[in-house]
Structure formats: C-alpha cells, structure tokens
Chain A
Amino acid sequence: MALERLFRRNRPTRKEDDNSPAGLWLKCDACNAQIYRKDLVANLHVCPECSHHYRMPVDARIAMLADEGTFVQWSGGIQADDPLEFVDTQSYAERMEKNRQKHGRPDAIVTGGALMGGHSVGLVVMDFFFLGGSMGSVVGEEIARAAERAADEGLPLVAVTASGGARMQEGALSLMQMAKTTVALERLAAERLPYLAVLSHPTTGGVTASFATLGDVIFAEPGALISFAGPRVIQQTIKQDLPEGFQRAEFLLQKGMVDDVVPRKELKARLVAVLRALSGAKERAPREKLHAAAL
C-alpha cells in the first residue's frame, strides 16, 4: 500500500490533455485494477483486466494499424493561422504554439501512406490530446489532401477519428471544414475506392456530422462516446438524466448507426478483411464512365 501511494504521487491525473502518464502503475478508470503501465501499452492501451479501451496516442495507433516500417507521413507541412485573432483566456496563437511544442506536430492530425496487411492505403489519425482533436482549417485541409492523394494514387482511405468537434477559435472557417472534408471524399467515391472510418473515444460534434460518419464501412471502438451533441448539452436541453450507455458505441450499433463495434486487438484484421472485400471495384467495371475526370 505504501509503495502504491508513493507511485500515485508521481502519477499524473488522467486529464484530457495527458497522453503520457509517467508512473509505472496506474489504477484502471473502469475496474480499479492496478495495472502495470507497460502491460497497458503492450495491450494496445486496453486494460488487461476489464478491456476498457483507453485513448490511444497517435504513434501507437499508427504502429498498430500500419505494417511495420511502412508508414510514410504526408501531413505536417502546414500550421494554423489565426484568422479571427481569437482570444479567450489566452490567445489562440499562444495556445497553438504551446500545443505544437508539447505534441511535436503542427496540429491535431497525422496522415500518411502505409501498407495494411499488405494493402496499400492512405491513413488518417486524429490526435485527441492536441486541443481535443478539434477540427480547424489545418485538420480539415490535411484530411482533404489525404483523401485527394489517396484518390490520385488509387488507394483506399482509413480514418481513425477522435475529436471534440469543430474548433471554435477559427469560427465559421472551422464549420466549413465539415463541407471541405465531405467534398474531398467524393473523389474517393468517384474512383470507387473504399473509405473506412473507425470512430474512437470520443468522436463528437462537427467531426461526427461530417467525414467520420460517411464511411463505406464504419467501425466503432468499444465504449466510445460518439455523438452530435455532447451529453452535457443534451442534459441541459431535456433537463433529465440520460439513459445508461446512451451515445456509446454499443448503443449506436443497436440503433443501426455503425457497422460493428470492434475491439482494438481485432481492429486491424477486420479492416484488412473489409479492404480485401471491397477493393477491385474498378476492375469489375472497367468500362464504366466514372465521375473522376469531371472532378
């Protein structure tokens, strides 16, 4: 007990912006079991005791999805402007600079090309630890570029979402990223290239209401909160408690909104199986005139 207490002190609290708990041990949020941190990481950030799915750092996510050593990064060449000169408790420019320093990337997203089970794909991974994975101009642009590049190179696209929604600090321009990402996906559709979406915890607001839910196939991770309006907003609107499990992945499966809830350790194999099943559409309809040329 004394030893644990000693470690607890060093253990950072699990806050939204905390992607690197430094302690050796931590107590599972869901089952209270003491977990050796290395075991948690080795188990894809899933509690070995109760299978609670923790948020996954971007690098770990890429490592679990891409075949070893095949990921080539596309994103990273652009960073946020401050079109509104937005200031709340601190300026947006400062907030972004701090986040860039802390996370070592320009914004809340990484895209790139990779092999997945031998299939060449475009990969989009959102970073919830970077300003809540919020979507501003850069996140929208990187997604659009990834979709267009995938279309140009004849690759399917796989996107793993984790986001609080559109980024307030870029105002209506953030809202417009919902349309921008959506139109970019048309390019893939025109080429009959699969677009697979994986909704991880949490995926809410403008991201859910745009590219995240437009997948040809949509998988959700166990326990993930997936919503348009957040639970607190709904509670304030209807002034009553929300039902148990409301807006969670399993609930949405029941309501017919996602194709399946897939545990993390099975995720790659399931995605590869879908890629295998859906690829080759162009070869099956070689003479069909596609929209691609027009776009």
Chain B
Amino acid sequence: MTSSSQLAPTEFSAHPGQVLHRRAHAFLEGWRASQKPWRRDRAWPLYEELERLAATAKDQGAAEIAASALELAVYLCSFVDNDTAPNPAQHQALDRLVSRFAATVDKKDAARTQREESVADGTRQQIFYLCSEARELPGLAEQLRQQHCIVRSFDEPARLILALDEVSPDALFVHEAFVDDVHRLVAEVQGKRSAHRDPTLCLVLAEETDSARTLFAQRAGADAVVTERDPIALIAHLNKLLEQRQSLRYRVLIVEDDRGQALFCESILHHRGVRTTVCADATRIFEILAEFKPDLVLLDLYLPGGNGIEIARGIRERPAYAFLPIVFLSGEQDIDQRFEAIRAGADDFITKPIKPRHLVTTVESRIKRSRELHVGQSESRALQHAYAQLKQRVDERTQELSARNAELEIAYAKLKSAQEQAIQSEKLASIGQLAAGVAHEINNPIGYVSSNLNTLQSYVSQLLGAIDACAVAFAPTNDRAAAAVVEEIRRRFDIDFLAVDVPQLLAESRAGIDRVRKIIRDLKDFSRRDRSDSWVRTDVHAGLESTLNIVLNQLKYKAQIIKTFAELPLIECLPSELNQVFLNILMNAGQAIKERGVITVSTGRSADRVWIAIGDDGEGIPEDVLPNIFDPFFTTKPVGTGTGLGLSISYAIVAKLHGSIQVTSVPGQGTLMRIELPIEQPH
C-alpha cells in the first residue's frame, strides 16, 4: 500500500478495487498529459507507477489489468532504462498498448461490483451450477452459500456461456444430463479465463459414480464425477480439488539484471499462472531463495554481481537446493559457457531472444519433473523420517522402560531383602524362644544329673571309705583268714581299681555335663534378643567365645581355631546382633575350607575403634565375585545351603553399629574379614 499512497494518499479507506481503478485512471490521465515530446523524467515515475499498478492488480486478482499493465511496462521499460525516445512507430505501439490498458480498466470497471465480491474475499468461490430446474439438487445452493461460495444457477448451457463475460467461475457444477456439453463449456470457460488464474474446475454431478460415467465425463474435460446425493460430500470434494490445484502453482525466481528481460519473462509466465519474483542483485539471491521458495530458477548467464555459473554452483552446494531446477538464459554464441554451466549444475538453457513457448514449456516441464521427483523423494524421506522418529520413540520408550525396570528390580531386591531380614529376625526370635524352652527342658535333667553325680561322688567315697575301714578294722586282729577274705573280696570286686577309676569316671561325667551346660548357656545367650535393642557395654571376646562355642561342633572337624585376642575395652553395641555377625562370618569361613584348615580369630584396638579379624585358609573368593558378596541373595553356595543373606545382614548390622567390614581374599589362599567397630557410639 505504500506505493498507492504516493498517488492517492486519501484513499486508504476506499475499497481496494476502487483504489486500483482510480489509480489506473490517474495513470492514464498522467500518460496522456505527459506525452509528446518524450521526456524521460516524466516517463520514469509513470513507468514506476505502472509497475506498482501491475503488482497491485495482480495481488487483487485483477489479472487482465495486471497483464495489460505489465505488457505496457515491459515495452516502456526499454525506453526509460536506456533513455531513448521512442520513434514514431514505437510511439504508435505504445499508444496501442495504453489504449488496450485503458479498455481493460474500463471493461473491468463494469464487471467490478460483481467481481469484487470474490476479489475482496479470497475464500469466496464463484460457482456456476448447470442443471434443469426439475433436477436441481435441493439445498445444494444453500449449502454452498453457507460455505461462502457464490452460486449462480443456469438451466441451459447457452446462458451459462453468456454469463462468462461477466464473471469467470472457479468451478462448474454440471448435472450429468448436460454431460455432452461439458467439452464445449470447459473450452468456453478456459478461453475467457485470464491465463494467470487457476483453471476452472468442472465437476459432473451424477446419480452414480460408476467408472463408465466417470470415464465419459473425464474424456469430455470434467475434473471429477461426484455423487449428487450429499451436498456436504460434494463441497468437501470441491475443496479437495481446489487445494490440490493451489499446490500446483508454480513459482519461478528470475535472476536477471536486465529489467526488460525480467519483465518479459514475468509477463509470459504470468499468463500461465506462474508466480514470479525478480532478483536483480545476485548478492541477495539466497535471501530471496529462502523467502520465495521457488520451484525453479531462471538464471542469466552474465550478471554484474557474479558470474551466473558461480551462482548456480553456489545454489547447488546448499543441500536444500540440491534438486532445485536451474535454467540458464544465455546468448546463442555461449556454447563453451553452457558446458561449464552444466558442470555447475544447470538443468537447461533458453537461448535469447526468448521465445515464449520455449520458456513456458521448459519451465513447466522442468518443474513438473522436479516435483514428481520431489514427491517421490519427500515420500521416501517422510517415510524415513517417520521411521527414524518411530525408532527414536521406540528407543526412548525402551530406555525408559528398562530404566523403570531397573528401578523396579532394585526396589524389589530391597523389598525382598527387607522381607528376608524380617523373616530372618522373626526366625531368630522364635529360635530364641524355642531355645529358651528347650534349655529349660534340658536344664532339668542336667540339673539332677549333675547334682546326683556330686552326691554319687560323695556316696562312692563313703563306700570306699567303708571298705577301707573294714580292712583297717580287720588288720589288728591278725586274723589271717579274715584278712585273706577281705583281700579276696577286694580283688574279686577290683576295689582298688574302682577306688581309682570311679572318681575319674565321675569327673569325666561332670566334665561332659559341664559342656552340655555351657552349650545350653551359649545357645540361650546367642538367641536372646535384646528386646529394646538396647545398647550395652559389651565384651567382644565374650561374644566371640560364645559364638565360637556354637559353631565349634560344625568347625572342629575341619578347622583348627587360633585365637589371638588383644586387650579390649567394653564397646557400646548390640551384643546379640554382633554375635550374629560373628556367627555368619565364622560359618562362611568354615564353609570356605574344603577339607582341613585353619581359622584365625584375632582382635585389636586402634585409637577409638576395635577390630575383629576372622580369617581362613580356604578357597578364597574370585575377584569378579568379590564386589557382590554383600549383596542380598548373592550366594555361591549350592541351592539350599545358603540364603545369600548372611553377609548382607552382617553388613547391615555392622553399619547400624557405625562400623565397617573389609574383605581381602586371594583365590586358593583364603579370605580375611576385618570388622571395625567404634568403642563409643556417636551421639
């Protein structure tokens, strides 16, 4: 609008169509006033206004005005640019063009009111509906109007053809009864339709859309045969066809420093409905390419801003334009340059002076082929893209799922270990109860057996005393016979042996009972759960001893136990839990020894911590397994022999006691577990 404001600054509020016409008339007046003699300074602004008029007319869809203005501008341009006054013959030609332009403007003036409707609203489609009144589809016109279409109904072809002088319809709806007239109608419509506009669509409305009807109608020139039953479907079909047509509009970028040449190309192409943009400055070409997105580039071989071949090469180098058709405009004599240009990526040549048919054919066929290629490519590219996207999504999803899975596995393991620990401690608690009960039952018989053994010992010594006393009693009598009898009895009953062996027997029995007692006491000590989990000052050695007593029966046949205890202070801990750690580690040590070996249990103190080291000379732990040994359920033992929880529980307990466990192991040589515990718990 900036250009129009130069001549008609007050007309902003006016209808765009009216503005155009006023400007056209203003131009004509200016032209008539400025002619004879030719003056470049007067011709120049007129020429510029003419260019702007053409552009405005084009924008507003006033194709004939635009075409005629452009035609005039192209001719005028050579005189303005070169500042040569037209000779009389050229003047006559100019006048002819001007009056043709005036006629176009006037003619369009008459049809303007009607036309404006479609011009003003780009979405409004002009539709001619040819149908005998009796057969008219009820509601169709109404439906179409609701869709912002302008519908004119005709009941015979001749009237429709007459109306073409006023308005060129965007679509023809022809009832199948008039299918024989389609060919004629299409020819008439196209003949009167300005070349730059999209060809009119022709739809045949039929009762059935069988292939015979379709074929017949399409041969006659119809674009489609649609069933007349459903107006909505019909409109949808129409819109689809219009959209397709829209996408077919070709766009051509003309890179040409010669304005006359460029305008000439544009005017030819506009007649074929091709959209164009001129780039006179070769340095801006990529900017314009990106903006205009042409289907084809017309490139002058010789350009001031850079050799055309170099520009072609530059275009080809960019991946986005690798398949953009490039057609050179060149002189007849530039044969060598042509080969050079082909090497640079040119697709075709048009020799100057340009023949309109050559230009149109080349441009259209090149674009068509490139589009076909492009469609195929973009389809496969779209497929590839979709595939890549899908794959990416699948990958992402897979990753997400496996991450989620890993999380769940960890959570599951944690839960399971918690559950197992709960089961384990439950088990230990019930073992504790059981042990207490069993201990009572065992302690009763042990109680009387051990007491009776004491009593027996004193009874036996009384008996032996009595026998001795008898012997002594008989001795002073010097009754040899009696003494012999006593001697005989002593020998027969092996009294002397009994006197020595009975006390020994009793002592051994006592020792056995003492051991049973000790085992029972240790079992009770071990299994007693400190209900309040109370921290007590504990003697680590006592815990080790009592645990060793429990496992001794399992270990003593295969392992010699070497204890090296340092002097340790009492430590603040949970004794029964610590004993469980000792038990687990001692059991593992025992299991590591295949036949016979040594288990060392040593203790020591370093600063505010004590350490307990339990070592074995068993098979050791393989290096790859070592990092896992504290994991819950990790076990190298055969199924059924271990839960895989022992060390993880131990680890958890030691952690609770604010201590640490270290493992060093050499396969084939043995393992050393070193527990460190603080003497005082941190508070």
A, B in one complex = no
Q: Which residues of B contact A (CB under 8 A)?
A: none
Q: Which residues of A contact B (CB under 8 A)?
A: none
